[in-house]
Amino acid sequence: MKCPFCGAIDTQVIDSRVNEEGDSIRRRRRCPSCDKRFTTYETAELRMPQVVKQNGTREEFDRAKVRTSFMRALHKRPVPTEFVDQAIERIAQKVLGLGDREVPSRQMGEMVMHELYKLDKVAYIRFASVYRSFQDVDDFRDVIRDLDK
């Protein structure tokens, strides 16, 4: 690590401590050139993959967009916000766990549908009607029949 005071390239680590949450490390350093001390923090940088849409465009994974999808499907449904937050976190962890740089939007939609299925069947049908572009009542009937099984 470069010394912020004199610019020397080599510094020594005097002390390392993990913070209370366990997600970063605090290091006390000393520069042998100017003998000054300073602190650095080390954290893991997790980069979410990009979402590849149907038309080929790419955009960053956005939890707010996932939340909007949930809230539209769950409008006026008795599902606590805490459960929605947990579902969104599970989706984010699955996407991160894939280890890919890109995720198809279709796969994201399937993940949302899977979580909605567990949360609320009406919301699941609402989301599926838009996501799968239902054309008539028979499409709704088919999904409801599948739910009854």
pTM surpassing 0.75?
no
| Higher pLDDT among residues 23 and 103, named by residue | 103
pLDDT in tens, 36-56: 999 999 988 778 899 999 899
Q: How far apart are CA 98 and CA 9, in angstroms?
A: 37
Residue ranges covered by each domain of the chain: 12-43, 50-148
Cβ atoms 127, 116 nearer than 8 A: yes
What is the band of 3 on the pLDDT scale with cuts at 50, 70, 90?
Answer: very high
For 58-107, the three-class secondary structure string (H helix, E strand, C coil) is EEECCHHHHHHHHHHHCCCCCCCHHHHHHHHHHHHHHHHHHCCCEEEHHH
pLDDT at residue 60 in the model: 93
pLDDT at residue 71 in the model: 94
pLDDT at residue 19 in the model: 86
pLDDT at residue 132 in the model: 76
